[in-house]
């Protein structure tokens, strides 16, 4: 399970960003970036990768699994907007 937040701007969004946090970080550390992109009119989808924040634990977390988590967020987002 991935912990995911979707932050939408007050006005009609110009697009969507999916920033990824660093190794010892989690989605909470991305809130400043989400606010910044929101101020520019972008929807921002932030997540905690596996074994980070409130997401499921994962034995032997690595860069490939980080990439898989980002791809999973993209799939979830596409389903939510009907693509």
Burial class (CB in 10 A: 0-12, 13-18, 19+), 44: buried
Q: Which domain holds residue 71?
A: 3-81
3-7, 42-46, 71-75 — most confident range? 42-46
Judge whether residue 28 has pLDDT over 70.
no
Q: For position 25, what pLDDT does the model report? A: 60
Bridge partner residues of 6 (DSSP): 45
Task: List the one residue out of 18, 17, 27, 77 whose CA is nearest residue 49.
Answer: 27
Q: For position 40, what pLDDT does the model report? A: 94
Q: For position 19, what pLDDT does the model report? A: 83
Q: How far apart are CA 62 and CA 83, in angstroms?
A: 29
Summarised one tens digit per residue, pLDDT across range 39-69 is 999 999 888 765 555 555 566 666 777 788 7
Which residue would you say has higher pLDDT here, 4 or 54?
Answer: 4
Rounded to 10 degrees, the C-alpha dihedral 12/18/24/25 comes to: 10
Q: In the chain, how many domains are there? A: 1
CATH number for the domain harbouring residue 54? 3.40.50.1820
In the DSSP assignment, the letter for residue 51 is: T
Least confident of 23-27, 34-38, 45-49, 53-57: 53-57
């Amino acid at each position: 399970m991935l912990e995911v937040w979707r932050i939408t701007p007050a006005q009609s969004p110009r697009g969507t960003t999916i920033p990824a946090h660093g190794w010892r970080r989690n989605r909470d550390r991305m809130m400043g970036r989400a606010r910044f992109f929101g101020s520019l009119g972008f929807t921002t989808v932030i997540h905690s990768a596996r074994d980070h924040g409130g997401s499921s634990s994962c034995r032997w977390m690595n860069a490939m699994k980080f990439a898989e988590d980002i791809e999973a967020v993209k799939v979830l987002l596409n389903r939510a907007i009907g693509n």
